[in-house]
Each structure stands twice: as C-alpha cells, then as structure tokens.
Amino acid sequence: MKNMIKQYETSAIPPLGGGGARSISVLSPATVANVVCGFDILGFALNNPTDEFTVSLSNEVGVQIINNDDFNLPTNPEINVSGAALLAMLEECTDVKGFTLISKKNIKPGSGIGSSAASAAGPVVAANVLLNNRFSKSDLVRFAMFGEKVASGVKHADNIAPAIYGGVTLIRSIFPLDIISIDAPPLHVTVVHPQIEVRTADARQILKQNVLLKDAIKQWGNIAGLVAGLIQHNYDLIGRSLEDVIIEPVRSILIPGFNEVKQKCKDAGALGGGISGSGPSIFMLSKDAATAKAVEAVMKDVYNRIGLDYQTHLTTINQEGVKVV
C-alpha cells in the first residue's frame, strides 16, 4: 500500500490553489447503524476496524480506482460505492477533471458494520481536503449517499453520518438533510461478525410494509428514550430503550444464534444491543471495558458451540469520524 501511494504521488498534479499535499490518505471507520430501535435514523462510529483510502487529483476525466485488497470490487466508478460518491462530488466541481482512488478495504463487505458507508465517506472526505475543504460535512454526507444507493438501492445516512461527523448521530431528515450530533456517555462496544453474508438489499426486502399502531407507539417511545438516555448519560435509560419491536424480529431469523447471543450478553452485564445495520454482525454496549470483554467471551462461546466461524471486535465510539493520516 505505501509503495503504491508513494509511486503515484511523484506524478500527481498539485491540488487546487497551488502547493500543499499531492494526495490525501484517510482512515474511514466502521459504523453501527439503526442502534436497535432507530432504523435508518441512528448510528455511531467505531474506533476499529477502519478502511484505508488515498485520493489524488487527476488530469483524466472521471474517477480511476485502484483496489489494493482481495475483495474484487468493481473498478467502474458508476457501480463502485466509492466511485459513485466521488462522481457525485465531481458534478459540483466544474474546475476539477477527476480523481484517482487507491482503496484498501479492511471492513468486509456485507458484514453489517458499515463497509459501504466507509467506502463512500472516506474518499469524499479525502477529496474535500484536496479541494481546500470547500464542502460542508452535510454536503459530504449528501455525496456519500450516492454510494450507499449503489450498495443497497436506497439513499440512507445512518452509517454515513457518524462516519463523517464522528460519535453518535441522529438523522432527523434525509430530504432535506438534517443531522444532529448526540453527546453520548463513554460506551464500550463489542461486535461479533458471524462469517455469513447478509446483503443490505435482501435484508430490506423481507421487512414488513405495514406496522401496527401499537408497535409504532412502542418503537417511538424507545427511540425517544434512547436519545434522551444518551444525552443525559443515563445508562439505565439507555438499556431500557434498546428494544426493537419492528425490524429485529424479522431480520434476526437471518442470523444463527442471535437470540441466544443477545440474552446471554445481557446476562453478562451488557446494557443491550442487537443487529448492527442489516446484519449479520451483532453489537452490544457496555459501561466498562471489563464487561465488554466478558460479553466477547459469551459471543465466542455461543459461536464455538454452534460451529460457525466468526470475528469479534472490542472497541469504543469513535468521536472523530474519518481521519486524515
């Protein structure tokens, strides 16, 4: 990766305005979306894992993509998540011909921890630095949503917003964009990724199109309670509000061991948790590192017994979002 970046930097043109860096490298974080009851409106960024992207200005029209990993993602920018986001940005940059992107994915596509959002958010943040930060964070989310549409067929921002803003975010509205950062208390996050793939587009197709009023009322109460608990740094209220009566009962059938993992993790002291994004990853929130570690042991025990390969992440909430390195 470093050799590829160094080789390209020797021939890249300077950024607009003259001088400065010839290319920008960033780390783009994994994210947890929905946060149980907040379907499509709540999300938070993780300190690990992260994807690596390097963006350079190009004399060629459009977006050229170099993949430096083994995921065999398309290099045609129109059907590549990163490429679609950068193309959307280029449409509003009449003084820029194009970008070259070097991409190294560490967040496995289809894992449920915002792989597509990391791919969309990281490159537009890097490109914006090259352009002397001419666009706002809200603009960057708007561009990155074109990438999410490539991935899932729907423009949604609950992964992208925390990836770009950092921390916990509430998307009050997409059209027009209205993103609110939430001052959450310190939280430790344990994630288990069973090694199966659940495509976001497929996970959306199985959702019910009609919701009972009594379920909607209960869900609204949980969303309001969760947001209030985060703002008040009230761990008990956070735990009571981590309940989903609409999405989780449907999607959880796609994830082996889900109900057992969730219950045993809560028994081990977790505040609560659920499906990360559309799955198959499961996340749990804890007040302290020791509890988060005990929760990881529970997750490992369940999947060892089931006989399903898995990967775990012990981390905290990333307050910065995409980071220039």
DSSP-assigned letter for residue 16: T
In the predicted model, is pLDDT for residue 311 greater than 90? yes
Is 94 one of the catalytic residues? Answer: no
Same domain, 52 and 22: yes
Token couple for 245: 């009566």
In the predicted model, is pLDDT for residue 111 greater than 50? yes
- Determine which one of 54, 190, 200, 291 is catalytic: 200
DSSP-assigned letter for residue 254: G
Same domain, 36 and 157: yes
- Determine which one of 31, 52, 148, 190 is catalytic: 148
> pLDDT tens for residues 195-246?
987 776 676 777 778 999 999 999 999 999 999 999 999 999 999 999 999 9
Instruction: Please state the domain count of the chain.
Output: 2
Which residue range(s) make up the domain with 259?
A: 188-316
Same domain, 170 and 201: no
Token couple for 102: 């070097």
Confidence of residue 58 (pLDDT cuts 50, 70, 90): very high
Percentage of the chain beyond pLDDT 90 is: 85
Q: Which pLDDT score is estimated for 4? A: 37
Q: Which pLDDT score is estimated for 198? A: 74
Same domain, 30 and 154: yes
Same domain, 205 and 148: no
**Separation CA 117–CA 314 (nearest Å):** 20
DSSP-assigned letter for residue 53: E
Same domain, 152 and 284: no
Max distance between CA atoms of the chain, in angstroms, equals: 62
In the predicted model, is pLDDT for residue 170 greater than 90? yes
In the predicted model, is pLDDT for residue 142 greater than 90? yes
Same domain, 162 and 223: no
How large is the average pLDDT for residues 78-101? 96
How large is the average pLDDT for residues 91-106? 96
Arithmetic mean of pLDDT over the chain? 92
How large is the average pLDDT for residues 150-161? 92
**Separation CA 111–CA 163 (nearest Å):** 16
In the predicted model, is pLDDT for residue 180 greater than 60? yes
Same domain, 97 and 19: yes
In the predicted model, is pLDDT for residue 86 greater than 70? yes
Q: Which pLDDT score is estimated for 152? A: 85
Same domain, 15 and 77: yes
CATH number at residue 144: 3.30.230.10
Same domain, 114 and 215: no
Q: Which pLDDT score is estimated for 200? A: 67
Q: Which pLDDT score is estimated for 12? A: 36
In 136-286, which residue ranges form alpha helices assigned H by DSSP? 137-152, 160-165, 200-205, 213-232, 235-241, 248-251, 258-267
Q: Which pLDDT score is estimated for 18? A: 40
> pLDDT tens for residues 18-44?
444 589 999 999 999 999 999 999 999
In the predicted model, is pLDDT for residue 5 greater than 70? no
**Separation CA 25–CA 149 (nearest Å):** 24
Same domain, 167 and 30: yes
Is 169 one of the catalytic residues? Answer: no
In the predicted model, is pLDDT for residue 316 greater than 90? yes
CATH number at residue 226: 3.30.70.890
Q: Which pLDDT score is estimated for 278? A: 87
In the predicted model, is pLDDT for residue 90 greater than 50? yes
DSSP result, 70-115: SS-----GGGSHHHHHHHHHHTT-TT--EEEEEEE--S-TTSSS-H
Same domain, 197 and 176: no
Q: Which pLDDT score is estimated for 45? A: 98
